[in-house]
Structure 1
């Protein structure tokens, strides 16, 4: 599971850095919020989850660990795509607002599940 999270995080890092380079080169920083969310939620949080699995969570049932992984990835992807569409002006906020809210709650659910796994299964 640690490798899955690290690989996902590194994938987000590539996308986030590419977006950052594009913004710098074009001098169009309209996707700054999207870039920040890709780097923090996609890269940093996924990477930290991977480190948690590697260092402390070897005993987590595979089904629970996979559920947490896919909850985080689903929520993150929907949130990032929604933010991109919002700040590119592709979809109006009244339509995207609820989608972004639901995606945020999904990401939050993934964090809650990580906390539960850490409390129940972390090595001391």
Structure 2
């Protein structure tokens, strides 16, 4: 990936495509059992990642920091762990992954809050 904003937007777009295909599959089969997992894929995988990408596109100082890369990795890991974890919890195969993914998502958002408060929005400052 060329940049943190591109990484967030491209990954979000992939998650959106997967979410849309999954939604069509649920509609076609009339089985919406896993809709909470589908919803989290769309919400965190597409919406949150796109919001994060927009912030980093507007805030090059924040985008150039090492914390931005950590934030991307943490968010990606949260989605990859949480979505199957929710599916496993719904199908009574255990809740451990859903819990772990939820904590990762919380850490991702807490890190985002820190980065926004540290850098502001739209500011160009020396990357830390």
Name the TM-score, length of structure 2 as normaliser. Answer: 0.85
2:113 corresponds to 1:111: no
- The number of equivalent residue pairs is 118
2:82 corresponds to 1:79: yes
C-alpha distance 26-35 of structure 1, shift in aligned 2 (>3 A): same
Structure 1, unaligned runs of 5 or more: none
Counterpart among 9, 17, 20 of residue 20 in structure 2: 17
Shift of residue 85, structure 1, vs aligned partner: 2.9
2:67 corresponds to 1:64: yes
Partner SS for 2:95: helix
C-alpha distance 85-97 of structure 1, shift in aligned 2 (>3 A): closer
Shift of residue 16, structure 1, vs aligned partner: 0.4
Q: Which runs of 4+ in 1 moved over 3 A?
A: none
Q: Distance in 1 between matches of 2:38 and 2:100?
A: 20
Q: Distance in 2 between matches of 1:81 and 1:97?
A: 10
Q: Distance in 1 between matches of 2:100 and 2:88?
A: 16
Q: Deviations over 1:27-83 (max 9, x none)?
A: 11111111111111111000110011111x211243111001101110111001112
2:97 corresponds to 1:99: yes
Maintained 8 Å contact 2:86/2:97? no
Q: Distance in 1 between matches of 2:6 and 2:18?
A: 18
Root-mean-square deviation over aligned CA pairs: 1.4
